[in-house]
Amino acid sequence: MRRGAVQVSFLLALAFLSVALGGEWEKKVYIATVDKDGVQRVRIKAGSYYYDPNYIVVKRGIPVELVLIRESAFIPHNIVLEMPGVSIREELDPEEEVRVRFTPTETGKFEFYCDKKFLFFKSHREKGMWGILEVVD
Rule CB under 5 A: say whether 129 interacts with Cu ion.
Answer: yes
State the minimum distance, in angstroms, from the CB of residue 37 to Cu ion: 30
Listed ranges 11-19, 22-30, 32-40, 106-114: which one lies at the site for Cu ion (CB under 5 A) = 106-114
Indicate the residue among 56 and 135 with the shorter CB distance to Cu ion.
Answer: 56
For residues 90 and 113, the answer to whether their CB atoms sit within 8 Å is no
Using CB under 5 A, which residues numbered 42 to 101 contact Cu ion? 77
Q: How many C-beta atoms lie closer than 10 Å to residue 67's C-beta?
A: 13
Distance of alpha carbon 137 from alpha carbon 124, whole angstroms? 31
Rule CB under 5 A: say whether 127 interacts with Cu ion.
Answer: no
**DSSP H helices in 33-89:** none
Rule CB under 5 A: say whether 116 interacts with Cu ion.
Answer: yes
Distance of alpha carbon 128 from alpha carbon 54, whole angstroms? 10
Listed ranges 13-21, 57-65, 105-113, 129-137: which one lies at the site for Cu ion (CB under 5 A) = 129-137
For residues 71 and 45, the answer to whether their CB atoms sit within 8 Å is yes
Indicate the residue among 58 and 92 with the shorter CB distance to Cu ion.
Answer: 92
The sign of the CA dihedral 16, 19, 23, 29 is: positive
Indicate the residue among 63 and 76 with the shorter CB distance to Cu ion.
Answer: 76
Summarize as ranges the residues that interact with Cu ion (CB under 5 A): 77, 114, 116, 124, 129
